[in-house]
Chain A
Amino acid sequence: MITLSGITKTFGYNAVLRGVDLHVDKGQSLVVIGGSGTGKSVLIKCIIGLITPDAGQIIIDGQDVTRSGHDKLLHRFGMLFQASALFDSLPVWENVCFRMLRSGQSRGDLRDLAAEKLRRVGLGPDVADKFPAELSGGMQKRVGLARAIAADPEIIFFDEPTAGLDPILAGVINDLIREITTEMGATAITITHDMSSVHAIADQVAMIHDGVVQWHGNIGALDQTDDAHVLQFITGSATGPIPTLR
């Protein structure tokens, strides 16, 4: 479904991605882990077309989007941004149904649809008419999640979906992501730092370090690996190949 080869991206002097190769099959859930600032968000933005890589190739569903652009694919994507990125001039329900606002459906129907999507991320209907600025960070995150899945996309990107949520809600969100991939057959790429999320969501795990995919394998292989980077990440140890000053 998605194949990356040799993706590089440098900001000024900061060589963030230095040749990333990655592959996800249709209907699979890939979880990307890696230290803060290693370029996970940048990687996702490259795939979705928000950032143009300096070199390398991105193939989505057989189309080389590196050159032809993403425009024709965008309606099949959904994305949750790390900082939610809700439109603060629109009420929550218009945020959730943003894609459908111009589809000709009545605003009343759309509002109901939004309430349904909000329920799936654990938000009551009263939230629908609020403005994003009136919500807590975790609530904003969940609205962002509802927006990402509102139009039933085929390919979904989640940038830290459970960061800032309490463990109970994190469990709800993990289940939701799992459900979207297993029941609806969507392909998902999720960034997370939360190891319990990794186990709940992932079919495949890729670890980014120093601008490349340091380790890639099935979720089952994650606990068996003796890769020093992965081990340090899982155990959260301060000593190891990953420096703590970043």
Chain B
Amino acid sequence: MAMTLDTTAPDVAETREKPASNRRWQRFARPALGVVLPLTLALAWELAVWSGWSNGRLVPPPSRVFTTIMELARTGELSRHITTTLSRVTAGFGLGVVAGTLLGAISGYWGIARQLLDPTIQALRAIPSIAWVPLFILWLGIFETSKVALIAVGVFFPVYLGVMGAILSVDRKIVEVGRTFRLSGPAMIRRILLPAVLPAYVVALRVGLGLGWMFVVAAEFMGASEGLGYLLIDGQQLGKPAQILAAITIFALLGKTTDWLIELITTPLLRWQDAFRPGGEA
């Protein structure tokens, strides 16, 4: 029958191999596209100040921000502030992710736990997290613990919601495949549920990380003697806009880098996804 063609058509090499030049373009030129806009703006501002069109006092040009960063780096202050902030975010993110994942998984997996836990957690979520600050300071003091707690709270909710929602939306049809092969509870979790929720989990982690960076600033505003948030406050109080912009730049770099790290680690695990990628594969 003519239709057996379908079985034997030798189309192995159809999509995998692309011309080398094409791939190089994908590797380097596509990401490069992303820096065109910020570089142009920075250059334009640099020129505006350099040509005397603006004195650049309130909005210092990129070169001055860069000098400030180098100066901070030279005295060793910069690495101290970065280390402090990074360790706060790491601790808060870690705690928030662990708690959010555990409770999200429990709420997603067991209906009774969901009915018991979820209303309370949703009610707590409705409270703007910054509102906890006074209480945290009273309970935990003004030092590291209260800061880490605030960050953890910020990270917790998106991770919790992401994990629970992902589990609840796992396709019943795919779970049934696991059932027909008589998977035990743990095997069902490992071989069906975990891979199925992974894409949504990665998104939840990235949202959580973003909130972690947001809340570390809030935490460092509430009285800190070091950290990038302290640099911001210090720059404001001493009238050093270049220092503020320097701190903001570092925040941007750190935030982007940590987000990229999550992406880098998880991309190999998500290659199978059949997702809509507008504008071609990224």
Partners in one complex: no
